[in-house]
C-alpha cells in the first residue's frame, strides 16, 4: 500500500478543524456547496463520485482521492467503474497536455518572430 489512508484522513481532519476555527465562514461555504451539489437529482451519487475521482486525480489531491473513494464505495461504485472513470481522467489530461503543448509552440513563435 502506498499510503495509510485512514491515518492521512485523520491528519487532514485535524488540520482542517484548526483552519475552520480560524476562518469558519470559508468552511461553512464549502460545506454548503457540498450539500447543494449532493442534493442534485440529475446525476446519481455514484456518477457524481466517479466524476469527483477523475477531477481529484487531475488536481493531484490526495485528500480528495481519499474522501471521494470512500464516497464512491458507499454509493456502490465497483473497482472496474472507478478504473474506467480514471481512464477518462488520464485521457483528458493527456489531451490537455497536447493542447498546452500547442500553446507553448504558439508562445515560442510569438516571442521569436519579427514584429510585423
Give the sign of the dihedral formed by CA 76, CA 79, CA 81, CA 83.
positive
Structure confidence by residue, pLDDT tens digits, 12-70:
999 999 999 999 999 999 999 999 988 988 999 999 999 999 999 999 999 999 999 99
Average model confidence (pLDDT) for the chain? 94
Q: What is the pLDDT of residue 1?
A: 80
**Domain 44-116's class?**
mainly alpha
Q: What is the pLDDT of residue 103?
A: 93
Q: What is the pLDDT of residue 90?
A: 96
Contact between residue 51 and residue 40 where contact means Cβ atoms under 8 Å apart = no
Domain-by-domain residue ranges, the chain? 44-116
Residue 116 predicted with pLDDT over 80: no
Residue 2 predicted with pLDDT over 90: no
Amino acid at each position: 500500500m502506498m499510503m495509510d489512508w485512514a491515518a492521512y484522513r485523520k491528519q487532514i481532519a485535524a488540520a482542517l478543524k484548526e483552519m475552520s476555527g480560524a476562518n469558519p465562514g470559508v468552511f461553512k461555504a464549502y460545506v454548503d456547496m457540498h450539500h447543494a451539489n449532493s442534493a442534485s437529482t440529475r446525476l446519481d451519487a455514484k456518477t457524481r463520485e466517479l466524476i469527483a475521482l477523475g477531477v481529484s486525480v487531475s488536481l493531484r489531491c490526495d485528500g480528495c482521492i481519499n474522501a471521494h473513494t470512500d464516497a464512491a464505495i458507499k454509493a456502490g461504485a465497483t473497482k472496474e467503474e472507478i478504473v474506467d472513470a480514471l481512464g477518462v481522467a488520464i485521457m483528458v489530461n493527456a489531451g490537455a497536455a497536447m493542447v498546452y503543448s500547442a500553446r507553448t509552440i504558439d508562445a515560442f513563435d510569438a516571442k521569436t518572430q519579427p514584429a510585423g
